Chains A and B, each alone.
Chain A
Amino acid sequence: MKPITGSPVLTVSSPSHIHCGRTIKNSALETIFALTPAILFAIWHYHMQAVRVLALSGFIAVITETVCLYIMKRKVEANNFTTLLCGLMFGFLIPPAAPWWLVTVGSAFSIIIGRMVFGGLGASPLCAPLVGWAVITVSWPDLMNFDMTMLASELTYPLSQLKNFGPEILNEYSIKNLILGNQLGGTGAAQAGAIIIGGIYMLGRKIIRPDIPFAFIAGVAITASLFHVIDPLKYAPIQYHLLCGSTLFGAFFLLTDTSSSPVGHIPMIAYGLTAGIMVILIRVYGMYPDGVPFAILLANLMTPLFDKIRPAPFGGVTNIHLQR
């Protein structure tokens, strides 16, 4: 359409008229890319079982969100890949031999209760994959117990060994084996070395800020070493707390979930430290061998409090009429 004046139709926009180029979609794609090493390691260890769990949980997540959006009469937004990412992260947390219906229920609950009831993308106060994880862990504790579900595997779950037999048993696990993922645990979360590679990629590409992961790892390390120094015979050394369970996966991928984490440097560090300390407290005193998911959920609940830590605003002007 040509206007009468002879001027081309110009686009009118509000400032800023330019953009840095980073979008939700490409952040989600980069995060999925960062998860790829762990997916490959999981397939190496568990073959088709891993493929089955990850593909099913990702598929169910996208389908569930699409149905929810359809019922809510909103535009389908599966093309920003955040739901697929959410489904994959849920699949990372559950045992590779989990029955299909458990994966389906958990993945659907992650999306419905973790995300859609709050209004969809960006509105969730909790890390969505952990909500589904918590629902099925509490409802079917036997099926979520790695040792029971994975009887066919030669590998063992170091954290439940630690809980049942004390720290000496951990000497069976060499650091190299733990890094290569020769341990039971969540399908992808147990691939410690691959998760580190993914985490470094995310930090390097500036998808996540270093504040939260480093504060979390520091929180875990400091608390674990305190316990270890007090009684080395009763409490495990730091390296096992860092490399077993989903500590690293939590640090780089779950804790940094945008909508459930605080904003600003000091709140981020306080949030990471709190979650890290809580992990060790749950592992030492709690009934669950891996404290990471519950520690992160508890830290998520404290996010609004951390967000209250704010620097003084520029100039301290409190009324719009006084602005000069």
Chain B
Amino acid sequence: MKSSRRKFIAMAGFAALGWSVCPSLTRAATEAGPKLYFKEEGSLEASQWAMAIDTKKLDRQIMNKCIEACHTLHNVPDIDSDQNIKWIWIEPFRNLFYDQSHPNLKNKANQPFLTLCNHCDNPPCVRVCPTRATFRRPDGIVLMDFHRCIGCRFCMAGCPYGSRSFNFYDPRIYLENLSHEYPTRSKGVVEKCEFCAHRLDKGQMPACVEASEGALLFGDLNDSNSDVRKALRERYSLVRKPKLGTGPKVYYLI
């Protein structure tokens, strides 16, 4: 009797060991299998994407074209209330740069500028998101995974630039024509500009950059030959709220 109880305990021990090892074995098996996922051919790559906005070239018409290009492509609804959704929008200079009052810039106070998500180096929105629905890709794009967003809005509270919008409604109610290039969102999800990550992966430039007639420049910040770096070498530039240490990657050429 005694010896069989011992045997039983020993067997149970082995079985438990087996179960604890087995899951990692199955994973090892699939990882060793064929690789099924690949990057798209001709995708644009960078170690840190950045945008430079040439404020001298911006006028109302160009700004509206940029907004139109982005919002129609991404099915961003236009809701006539404070519950509107915006990925890229117009703000006067004094709202964007109230903390940077260079005397020579006083005359700019009312000039309208374009603004969007800054794709920060050190994004507070990413740090506070409990589900990792928003995350920073290795190429510096701060992306939303709409599938994971639970609508807690921590990221909206975290973002010091107001770059995020919340869907209080099903956006399709407000969209006359749907763009088949990009999904809509569902009610209860936070959204923002995603630097057109899906276009870069296909080898295309962001939609607003294409529509901007040269007023928006886009490229790799760490490549000294990129448009953005060239422009930053030659012109005086500002970023929003530099003191917060978020490291914005949208530069305003003054």
Partners in one complex: no
A contact residues vs B (CB 8 Å cutoff): none
B contact residues vs A (CB 8 Å cutoff): none
